[in-house]
Amino acid sequence: MSVVGKRVQRPESITRVKGGGLFADDSKYHGMLHAAVIRSPVARGIIQCINTESIIKKKGIEGVFTCKDIPGKNVIPVVIDDQPLLAERYVNYVGEPIAVVVAKDRETARTVAKNAKLKIKELPAILDILEARNHPDIHIFGDDNIFKHLKIRRGNPSSAFKKCDIILENIYRTPYQEHAYIEPHSVTAIPYPDGTIEVRGCMQCPFYVREAVTKSLNLPESKVRVIQSATGGAFGGKEDVPSLIACQAALPAMKLGKPVKLTYDRTEDMIAMSKRHPSWTYYKSGVTRDGILRAVEVEYIIDGGAYSTLSAVVLFRGTVHAVGPYRCPNVKVDSYAVATNKVPCGAFRGFGSPQVLFAAESQMDELANRLDMDPVEIRRRNLLRVGDETITGQKLKNSVGLEKSLDKVIQVSGWTPGGCKQDGVGYGFSTIFYGVGLGAGGKHMARTGARVIVHADGSVSFSVGTTELGQGMITVLSQIVADEIGVPLECVDMIPTDTSRVPDSGPTVASRATTMSGNALKDACTKIRNTLRSEASEMLGCSLDEIDFDNGLVSNKGDSIPLIEVIKSCSFKRLSLSAEGWHTSPPTTFDDKTGTGDVYVTYAWATNLAKVKVDRETGEINILKIWSAHDVGKAINPTLAEGQIEGGVLQGLGYAVMEDMKSDSRGAIINPEFSTYIIPTAQDQPEIVPLIVEEPYPDGPFGAKGFGEQPLMGIAPAVANAVFDAVRVRIRELPVTPEKVWQGLRNK
Amino acid sequence: MTKYKTINPTTLDEALETLNGCNVMPIAGGTDLLVKFYEVYGKSLPKLVVLDGLIPLHEIKTENDRISLGPLVTFSEIENSPELRKAAPQLVQAASVAGSVQIRNRATIGGNIANGSPSGDLIPPLYVLNAELELSSVNGRRSIPIDKFFKGPGITVLEKNELITSISFDKTFENGFFLRLATRKALAISKVSVAANYSMQNGTITNVRIALGAVAPTVIRAPRTEEYLSGKELNDNVLSTAAKLIKEEAKPISDIRSIADYRREMVGVLLKRGLNGIPQSE
Amino acid sequence: MKLDFVLNNKRVSINVKGGLRLIDLLREQLDLVGTKEGCGKGECGACTVLLDGKPVCSCLILASQVRNREVTTIEGLSIEGEMHPAQEAFTETGAVQCGFCSPGLLLSTVALLNENPEPSREQIRRALSGNLCRCTGYEKIFEAVELASRRINGLSVQNDKV
């Protein structure tokens, strides 16, 4: 009996509900010390003096470490090596790490770090992206403060606009979004007498952490072992930044020869950790009278903060997704990741696409409105189908379930164009897509390893290089292994992700774990199964191709024997039932000059419909219901797929209507806590209807493709469109707050 | 591991004696105090005088038409008191929307008052109930009307060695409400709130008291609006005029939660809704 | 100082610094690490424990404030290894994703069901609104509470999705 496609329970949830899931801060080690970080209080300045001698004299302090103590390179490697582990001469944002203090207990370390006296000469800072780009005097990065400029050139937009009947030009803005994983960052570094450093912590990308630790401590990769602890939510927020935190713990651990734990408190986490890039988008689109999208021109600028981190690749995804899931023959996109004196932004579910999709999908709705066409009809006339080309000229060969997702939402919601409705109630659509995997922006990392061992007692353990973050990877991969070996699911266990078990498998990002590790596991399982098959054919006295594996039994046409007997027999004969699997992505391309190429191996597709009621007096937006349909190729576990949709929708809803992180005129974040950075509670959750569409992706395990980020991506425009439908107020700057709606109503 | 120095008195006299010392501070539910303790006091943390052990200060007492609450009565106890539901509906409504279950189970009425925030949700209801506070210290007791207690955001007349020992008020007139707008539906601090207490006699409104939260440095009453409404029949015209008047009485600012113009306007909207009997939206 | 209280149905008598936060007493001194710290300011509910059966944030309570009172943590929900119906329901409906908020949510759920064995969806929302979850969108958590409620009340349970 196959378990792929079944709603099986998560194996690890049993320990979690008993409070037994060991998260990074839950473990203690013999002789363990605690670290805390001394940070810059200013947005830009020159460090004149760090008085380490007075700090080290304080009671309970075991050490204080600055950039001078780093034996290797003072750099956190991500894309471009511009970010130091600890600031040297300059600081470039409020919260930038300057030194690490280590004490016997956490409170002492934190108190001393907080009160450390620094002499920093403050310099004028630039906080606004439009000001920062090509700033004549202040240079945070290069000589123009541009981390990356990307472009797409397709057809001839300027002449195409002349033939359009309706052209709309607008500016859209989006703010920071904080990941707000409930577990703050935590890591422990443990030194061993042979010089090995073991790092345990919450993280998405153990191989990133290993690279950072080896470079900064000047160690070979064989001497650094990184093990992921249970991780309490990530959403991109534990992609690149754990590298920084791990080094902040590993440096003192190596120097002092003792385990060092570093756990951030919530406020520190919110001030100093990465966020979704704020953005500014100029959007011009033109249609002919019949609603056909003829030309789009976009200028998209994201605020990278003080160091480049992942901004270039975040920008890449935003650029490729700039027009939404539509055919458009004439496109010009210019996008920029710009440096400012603020906290570096990084990965966050959707990775640069939610910002630009907010603009694209709001724009689509406005075009429909101007054409007096319903929002579904305009989408139907333009959406991508098999055989169409994306704006990068990628021809879609298969697995395009966009229209199916639209049909499913309409069917389930019962939405009809211009259907009767109450005053103040409105409906808003968004149709979106998501390039699965790293794509051409990160293709050098598009490989994964796996190891599977079938033990003599019939239990199976496997290792992969990707990580469980709450999304359900352990379950989905266990289902795949169970089916591939032919054992019951209860016999399969995943070993916590550990860099010493499998080769570098790249990061757990870009919704890639199911497809990449799934394929690598299939590769390993196939090797083991070949051994089992040949042994079984001997035992059953039949040919190899007659053998069938199912539900713990191995059979040919008439006879069957328990799989465990075959396993025992292999063990007796000393045959190996352990194998390594490897998977590399099909090739992807992107031409920097023209912006053309087969950018992603495949795409996921989605339609969202939001129903809202707007209070005309207070501007309050009551979200009544959200339907969200996603083409996932194949849902290996429908319960988990729904969980991704429900969670992503609510996170998207927070982005749409309430989440708003702000910094003051000196670049300090003014609301770094949960009482002022507002995310949805159980009472703010509307009814969410998750819908699954399956257009199989032939190169994915069982037809599956990644989609975990997609549920967040299209919610903000769907809500903004619904608000417009309800009260004819168009909000082009997130979040859509009661205050903005009220002002819009008043100005009408 | 966060460590505070604490003293745990078991009688009021003992507590007041302790509070008369240096660098000490009383703690009730701790839901405001412990949140900002470090930021406010940094290295010179005061010793905390834990009030939990003072049993009589947890009581709700009724004598004829007078109700008195001990300062350690929690938001949950207010929310679930059948007595208060009749006698002070606006106070019950305010207690039930503040914070979360966890916070309401610990947060106390005395703490909400002593914290002195203009957005403290129990304060506008206490204004319209004309509550009296009893303040005690080793030097004796004094009584003060609630609207004389606050000096500014977080600033009150409470002396360092004093404790609020009772909050008392007469049972309400027949009608009262508390309405607020907040950044989300739970675990939120009010952007603006309106509380009222009034009687209806032969279709006209009398004995009107209205208080506004989060729209001035302290909670304020709206005397001009109260005066205008007094003796009027509640119809659309009267309500609109009252809404206009009350907007002028509010002195809001823009901050992380909202903007001044919006707050000013919403004071009027909430007043109209309250008088029309529209319940708190959730 | 010496502190006497009941922890997970057992009397505890322990020497503590009275000003320790309850969460630190539990996690650091008693090694009960199922109680999680998400914010330290009572804003996320990850550290929720029951004090005399009522949910409270253990980050905002001092150890001395639980003297002679009853504290229940996530470790005390299973009795002799048998999970509470709410724990079972959470694993069955998919209410656990990363699991960091789960202990706190479970204690809020148990307090609700003890007080109100058949809560409406609105009552569930209200009772759980002090526990932030960033993974699930709450939907499967609500389903879990409803499933546990039906089990506790001995009602037949259909899980048509299996």
Provide the CATH number for the domain around residue C138: 1.10.150.120
Do the domains at A279-382+394-440+590-746 and A447-584 have one common CATH topology? yes
Mean pLDDT to the nearest integer, A681-706: 97
* B41: confidence class by pLDDT, cuts 50, 70, 90: low
> By the 8 A CB rule, do A132 and A347 touch?
no
Residue ranges of domains in chain A: 17-123+185-263, 279-382+394-440+590-746, 447-584
Q: Which residue of C has its CA nearest to B185?
A: C129
> By the 8 A CB rule, do B169 and B145 touch?
no
Q: How far apart are CA A177 and CA A734, in angstroms?
A: 10
Contacts of B6 in chain C (CB under 8 A): 18-19, 62, 64
C60 is in which domain, residue-wise?
2-76
Q: Which of residues 26-65 of B touch C (CB under 8 A)?
A: 27, 29-31, 34-35, 48, 50, 52-53
Nearest to A286 by CA among A172, A185, A363: A363
Q: How far apart are CA B246 and CA B270, in angstroms?
A: 10
- Where does a domain end: C28, C54, C76? C76
- What the block records as the tokens of A89 is 């001469």
Rounded to 5°, angle at Cα B31 from B28 and B36: 110
Residue A279 has pLDDT above 60, yes or no: yes
Measure in Å the smallest separation between the Cα of C99 and chain B Cα atoms: 20
pLDDT in tens, A371-427: 999 999 999 999 999 999 999 999 999 999 999 999 999 999 999 997 767 899 999
Does residue C71 sit in the same domain as residue C52?
yes
Does residue C7 sit in the same domain as residue C64?
yes
The interface pTM score, or ipTM, of the predicted complex is 0.96
Mean pLDDT to the nearest integer, A29-49: 97
Structural domain includes residue C161: no
Quote the number of domains for chain C.
2
The total of other beta-carbon atoms located within 10 Å of residue A493's CB is: 14
A667: Cβ contacts below 8 Å, ≥ 6 apart: A42, A43, A44, A93, A94, A125, A127, A341, A342
Residue C29, Cα to own-chain centre: how many angstroms?
Answer: 19
**What pLDDT does residue B139 have?**
96
* C160: confidence class by pLDDT, cuts 50, 70, 90: very low
Name which of A182, A472, A688 is nearest C137 (Cβ-Cβ).
A688
Contact A23 C100 (CB under 8 A): yes
Contacts of A651 in chain C (CB under 8 A): 134, 137
Helix (H) or strand (E) holding A628: strand A621-631
**What pLDDT does residue A261 have?**
98
CATH topology of domain A17-123+185-263: Aldehyde Oxidoreductase; domain 3 (3.90.1170)
| CATH superfamily of the domain spanning B183-275 | CO dehydrogenase flavoprotein, C-terminal domain (3.30.390.50)
Is C107 an 8 Å CB contact of chain A?
no
Name which of A10, A25, A673 is nearest C41 (Cβ-Cβ).
A673
Is C128 an 8 Å CB contact of chain A?
yes
Measure in Å the smallest separation between the Cα of B72 and chain A Cα atoms: 24
Contacts of B282 in chain A (CB under 8 A): 683
pLDDT in tens, B46-101: 899 999 999 999 999 999 899 999 999 999 999 999 999 999 999 999 999 999 99
* Residue predicted with more confidence, B190 or A511: B190
- For A425-489, the DSSP string reads EEEEEEEEEEE-SSGGGGGGG-EEEEEEEE-TTS-EEEEESS--SSS-HHHHHHHHHHHHHT--G
Structural domain includes residue C101: yes
**What pLDDT does residue B35 have?**
87
Contacts of C94 in chain A (CB under 8 A): 7, 9-10, 639-640, 642-643
Runs of H (alpha helix) within chain C:
22-24, 85-93, 102-115, 121-127, 139-152
Does residue C6 sit in the same domain as residue C66?
yes
Interface contacts B/C by beta carbons within 8 Å: 94
Tell whether the torsion through CA atoms of A57, A62, A65 and A68 is positive or negative: positive
Q: How far apart are CA B21 and CA A48, in angstroms?
A: 43
Measure in Å the smallest separation between the Cα of A592 and chain C Cα atoms: 36
Mean pLDDT to the nearest integer, A126-146: 97
**What pLDDT does residue A231 have?**
97
Residue A689 has pLDDT above 50, yes or no: yes
Report the residue of A25, A271, A678, A733 to disrupt the B interface, i.e. the one with the largest count of B CBs within 10 Å.
Answer: A678
**What pLDDT does residue C157 have?**
63
Does residue C56 sit in the same domain as residue C121?
no
Is B185 an 8 Å CB contact of chain A?
yes
Residue ranges of domains in chain B: 6-50, 55-170, 183-275
- Where does a domain end: C58, C76, C94? C76
Residue A54 has pLDDT above 90, yes or no: yes
Contacts of C130 in chain A (CB under 8 A): 681
Measure in Å the smallest separation between the Cα of A681 and chain B Cα atoms: 7
Does residue C98 sit in the same domain as residue C54?
no
- What the block records as the tokens of A15 is 């320990």
* C161: confidence class by pLDDT, cuts 50, 70, 90: very low
Residue written as tokens 């966050």? A348
The total of other beta-carbon atoms located within 10 Å of residue A420's CB is: 5
Contacts of B262 in chain A (CB under 8 A): 619, 738-739, 742-743
Does residue C71 sit in the same domain as residue C7?
yes
Contact C130 B106 (CB under 8 A): no
Contacts of C65 in chain B (CB under 8 A): 30, 50, 52
Q: Which of residues 44-103 of C touch A (CB under 8 A)?
A: 44, 46, 73-75, 77-78, 83, 87, 90-94, 96-103
Residue A642 has pLDDT above 70, yes or no: yes
Contacts of B259 in chain A (CB under 8 A): 739
Does residue C100 sit in the same domain as residue C119?
yes
Contacts of A688 in chain C (CB under 8 A): 137, 139
Name which of B1, B185, B256 is nearest A105 (Cβ-Cβ).
B1
Q: What CATH number has the domain bearing residue C58? A: 3.10.20.30
Using CB atoms, which chains have 3+ pairs under 8 A with C?
A, B
Q: Which of A49-58, A144-153, B32-41, C106-115 has the lowest mean pLDDT?
A: B32-41
| Class of domain A279-382+394-440+590-746 (CATH, top level) | alpha beta
Does residue C52 sit in the same domain as residue C115?
no
Average pLDDT for chain B: 94
Using CB atoms, which chains have 3+ pairs under 8 A with B?
A, C
Residue C156 has pLDDT above 90, yes or no: no
Name which of B30, B101, B282 is nearest C108 (Cβ-Cβ).
B101
The 8-class DSSP code of residue C30 comes to: S
**What pLDDT does residue A442 have?**
86
* B45: confidence class by pLDDT, cuts 50, 70, 90: confident
Assign A284 to helix, strand or coil.
strand
Assign A583 to helix, strand or coil.
strand
Q: Which of residues 72-111 of B touch A (CB under 8 A)?
A: 100
Name which of B186, B189, B262 is nearest A675 (Cβ-Cβ).
B189
Mean pLDDT to the nearest integer, A125-132: 97
Contacts of B2 in chain A (CB under 8 A): 107
Measure in Å the smallest separation between the Cα of B215 and chain A Cα atoms: 15
Residue B44 has pLDDT above 80, yes or no: no
- Where does a domain end: C76, C105, C138? C76
CATH architecture, domain A447-584: 2-Layer Sandwich (3.30)
Q: How far apart are CA B35 and CA B56, in angstroms?
A: 26
Report the residue of B262, B269, B271 to disrupt the A interface, i.e. the one with the largest count of A CBs within 10 Å.
Answer: B262
- What the block records as the tokens of B188 is 């939120």
**What pLDDT does residue A420 have?**
64
**What pLDDT does residue B282 have?**
61
Name which of A25, A639, A682 is nearest C129 (Cβ-Cβ).
A682
Residue B231 has pLDDT above 90, yes or no: yes
Residue B278 has pLDDT above 90, yes or no: no
Residue B40 has pLDDT above 60, yes or no: yes
Contact B258 A739 (CB under 8 A): yes
Average pLDDT for chain A: 96
Contacts of C92 in chain A (CB under 8 A): 9
Contact A662 B42 (CB under 8 A): no
**What pLDDT does residue A551 have?**
78
Contact B186 C130 (CB under 8 A): yes
Q: Which residue of A has its CA nearest to C134?
A: A181
Label the pairing between strands A621-631 and A687-693: parallel
* A166: confidence class by pLDDT, cuts 50, 70, 90: very high
CATH topology of domain B55-170: 3.30.465
Name which of A617, A622, A674 is nearest B269 (Cβ-Cβ).
A617
> By the 8 A CB rule, do B252 and B270 touch?
no
pLDDT in tens, A716-745: 999 999 999 999 999 999 999 999 999 999
pLDDT in tens, A239-253: 999 999 999 999 999
Measure in Å the smallest separation between the Cα of B130 and chain A Cα atoms: 29
Does residue C93 sit in the same domain as residue C130?
yes
Measured in Å, how far apart are chain B's first and last C-alpha atoms?
38
- What the block records as the tokens of A112 is 């001393």
Q: Which residue of C has its CA nearest to A6?
A: C162
Contact B30 C62 (CB under 8 A): yes
Contact B262 A675 (CB under 8 A): no
Residue A519 has pLDDT above 90, yes or no: yes
Do the domains at B55-170 and B183-275 have one common CATH topology? no
Measure in Å the smallest separation between the Cα of C141 and chain A Cα atoms: 9
Label the pairing between strands A330-339 and A293-305: parallel
Contact B101 C127 (CB under 8 A): yes
Name which of C102, C132, C161 is nearest A7 (Cβ-Cβ).
C161
